Structure 1
Amino acid sequence: MIARSFPAAVAAPVLGLGLAACTSEVAGQANPSTQVSATNSTTADPADPFAGMSPCTILDQAFTGQNLPRAEPAVADPQHSCRIAKPTSGDTPGVVVGLILQAGSDYKNNVNNPAKASDGNVNGRPAIEEQEPLHAKGQCAIRFKVGSSRALLSVSFGGDTTGACKKVEEFAEKVEPLLPKNN
């Protein structure tokens, strides 16, 4: 669970940031970006704490044995973002989990819904939990500090913001140990 320094805000996933986008517009029509294999990793850059890492591999490792489908690269920025989508089944709401590795982006910058964000930590790592970052019910996100970069874990959970935040906190405990250590 994320430890907070002030009252908790329920977080919303920022899945829209990395899960749906187009490359360019030609003659008024958007051309979808191409998807990359889940085994692709980020480009090797010594300043990039995520160099050689795949967000899909991190998600698959974190959720081994959790009855979730394998992670797939997101449409937008597939080398740095990945998602797992489990559809609604009977009375069980669907869940979408996204992970974006953003080298060179401070975890405190670009908080989309600051009124619903709180500082804290996950396993001692500085983090921010944000409910409804895209101003939509059922979303929650945690931004992890990774050196001078960030990893963004987000969850959409059947229109239930409180449930999404409980899920993202639970999932953050599994993802955080797989991220590079802060120096």
Structure 2
Amino acid sequence: MNILRAKVALVMLGALGTVLAGCSSPVAGTPEPNLPSTSAGAPSKPANPFAARNQCALLDQILAGQGFPQGTPTIADRNRSCAAQKPSAGMTSGIDVAVILQDGQPYTDNVNHPETARRGDVNGRPSIEQPEPLNSPGQCQVGMAVEPSSRALVLVTSGSDTKAACAAAEKYATALEPLLPKS
């Protein structure tokens, strides 16, 4: 059941991110006519800060030596996310950990429950921790800023203990942060 809930959560996060990424906000100001550009070309999109990184290699690195199998790309967003699951053993709940690298999505986007989200930092990098991001006990997500306007997410599902999931998400985010691009 834990595997199914984790997969559903990852699918929902990917779908939510895709839907919300397509939305735009109103822009304040006075409309002006479209004037010809004075530059040699149109402004280019900033380079993908994750171009030289692989989400599964990063996940495997932060989980090394902890009994997890090798990470695999998720169904929801295989080009940007990777997950690994350590099954339950005796009295210890299983745990699912995912790393999602989202170019062009600020860490402040898609905060589902601002009333429970906590702003902070991971090794000095701005972050937001979201307990139960999909209203599912036992889940926690830490989103970290990656400049200029991207984010790295760590999503943990662990039984129904949200506090333990958040402690694990913080632990894995702290391990991931030094491996992310510096601004």
TM-score over 0.5 for the pair:
yes
User: Percent identity, aligned pairs only?
Assistant: 48
- 1:82 corresponds in structure 2 to 82
Map 1:145-160; keep pairs closer than 5 Å. Answer: 145-147=145-147, 148-160=149-161
Cα distance change, pair 121–177 in 1 and its aligned pair in 2 (3 A): same
Q: CA offsets per residue over residues 85-134 of structure 1, 9 Å max, x none? A: 11111111000001111000010011011111011000111000110000
Alpha-carbon distance in structure 1 between the residues aligned to 2:156 and 2:14: 12
Deviation for aligned residue 1:77: 1.5
Letter of the 2:144 counterpart:
F
- 1:73 corresponds in structure 2 to 73
Alpha-carbon distance in structure 1 between the residues aligned to 2:117 and 2:128: 7
Alpha-carbon distance in structure 2 between the residues aligned to 1:150 and 1:160: 25
Map 1:165-176; keep pairs closer than 5 Å. Answer: 165-176=166-177
Runs (4+) of structure 1 moved beyond 6 Å?
none
Is 2:104 aligned against 1:117?
A: no
Alpha-carbon distance in structure 1 between the residues aligned to 2:102 and 2:71: 18
Deviation for aligned residue 1:18: 3.8
Structure ranking higher on relative contact order (CA contacts 8 Å, 6+ apart): 1
Deviation for aligned residue 1:54: 1.0
SS at match of 2:175: helix
Q: Structure 1: state its 5+ residue gaps.
A: 1-12, 20-44
The answer on whether the counterparts of 1:133 and 1:140 sit within 8 Å (CA) in structure 2 is: yes
- 2:128 corresponds in structure 1 to 128
Q: More helix by proportion, 1 or 2?
A: 2
Q: Structure 2: state its 5+ residue gaps.
A: 1-8, 16-44
Deviation for aligned residue 1:79: 1.3
Q: More strand by proportion, 1 or 2?
A: 1
What root-mean-square deviation, in Å, do the aligned CA atoms of Structure 1 and Structure 2 show?
1.8
Alpha-carbon distance in structure 2 between the residues aligned to 1:16 and 1:110: 12
Map 1:1-183; keep pairs closer than 5 Å. Answer: 16-18=12-14, 47-147=47-147, 148-181=149-182, 183=183
TM-score of the pair, normalised by structure 1:
0.75
The answer on whether the counterparts of 2:11 and 2:75 sit within 8 Å (CA) in structure 1 is: no
Q: How many residue pairs get matched?
A: 145
Letter of the 1:54 counterpart:
N
SS at match of 1:65: coil
